[in-house]
Structure 1
């Protein structure tokens, strides 16, 4: 529009000088043309100065243009860029009034230049003004819609980012709670039990008390390794050095048997390739049995199963009153299955008020007052890998906790 105004102003001046050589008003028209050009050039500075200054500038430009049009009607077509300047500067109603007034002046000027009455001179300027106004207002509305959409998009992005941050923080808190519950908290619970037992037998059976203290010391060392692995976001200590899942579970069973006095048997059945192996595992305690090699699961999935086994055994030890337990790792072709079974008191899964529910491995019932990260933590771990958790139990019939991870998703 600025370029169009300068070109129209120059063309109008050239036409006027060519058609009126030597006329007395030529110097006045030339001077007004230069003044109008300089005044128009001050528009950006007036806009930066503020709305009121910009409107005063527009009024000065319009007055200068009206004066020059009265002297030389050929300058009338410079009004087109002024239409857009007015529409950009003034509110819609005021701008339309200004456009209408300028259009009337253009029509009068063109009729003065004509030799006779020409309907085109009466209709063409209003048509051009109306079209220019309609196009500008339409573009202005479109721009306003686009700005609104952009604002909505920016706001939505910010809300989404805030939601993601909150979700990430909650997920991290849940992960920390599960890790602490299944590693450090369980170890501290074992230490407490051993030290309490040592305190009870310190005077009557010093040898047994020292054995309890020695066992608690070994648990402290293992907990320290777990804490360091936890700080560095590593796998459980039994898996951190590249050990296999079945070796880690076997070591867990042996350690639980030695430290807590609860006989725990480990059994491996099958392999990731689908072959079945090993021998049936019975409840009656003993040492870990051997089976085919394990593998095929991602490290994170193996760590999850290891934590589930640790948590379930800790609850068996503390709440089930069991005389023996079995850990079974099975590869059934398309899924890996971890079972932790005990012959303890059991509970009725359909009756959450059953006091015997406190005996369930990982049930969380015994943990409600102070912990509450049993089954919910296990299920949360398994959901990350498309897995499921089931609990089978009955009053006086023991409990079986089963964690399943589909291999095809890994």
Structure 2
């Protein structure tokens, strides 16, 4: 296993507290060893070797909690969830085993010299940080008793200072960590509030931009309808009325008038298609699944049976995404009615984790997707829908084969702030 990734204990506390505890532990262990095993120190000879071995064991045990094996794809990291400081804790059994091992090794060192009592401060802080208070307080009391007992054995008696010092140190360590937890919780709550405000502000800005886009699209649709579309309709009516007043031998004039009517009609159709794309569908009071269900039901005819299936729990996608999926369904159903010669068409809307998918399948004659479409306008419709879906961060695929039907599949990501 590769070593060097953060261990489980590192995920249970903020980095600033980790650094402080690591620095305090290393400094306490190094200084204590220098005092206990230095020249003229009370520990020497064979005891010094045992103390050195126990110190290495203590340092290795401490390191295990903060430096652990690498995790694969983050799966093992999820075994120990990151708690909110002072509220959720790591698994007490795991913390007790780790802290219990260090406490036993530390108590063995205390049997050789009471100078190792300095290591009690980082241990007491770990008790309070990693254990529930109902376990942390007894653990701190037990550690304090170990220090007092070691000092009594070394001094050959018990004085007030030998009790007051360890008790005061344990109290300071406990209150320091509890105070840090309180400040950290307040900081986390403030950061969460700021994040929520930023998300709300961005959502409001997106909503305002969306409303502006829809309003502008409606304005353009009205302007085009009242000017270009009405003008082309008038031109067609005037051209058709000329046929009644032309003399019988004016064949060339009738031919040119028919050509003009054909061109004007084609342009009017394109203009209506453009208006159709600009005008938003009636989704203000109708959820997307219900609007699709009604559309599918209306598309049924004598030769075509339709069905609509909804999977998952619906959630808001935004007006633009709703419009895109509804338009795509309209375009696909129009192609099925006009070209597929299908007996059945099934529309499925699926709300998945993080994505929404729309599938339109028919059992018609199908086509070869590699060949250009015979109807240029239907090809343009699918091309436009592909651009619209991709513009929203989604994907559109069309699968078909001659004699095997056609499947149109669209996928859109869940909007920011949506819930699955």
Structure with the greater alpha carbon radius of gyration: 1
Q: TM (normalized to structure 2)?
A: 0.44
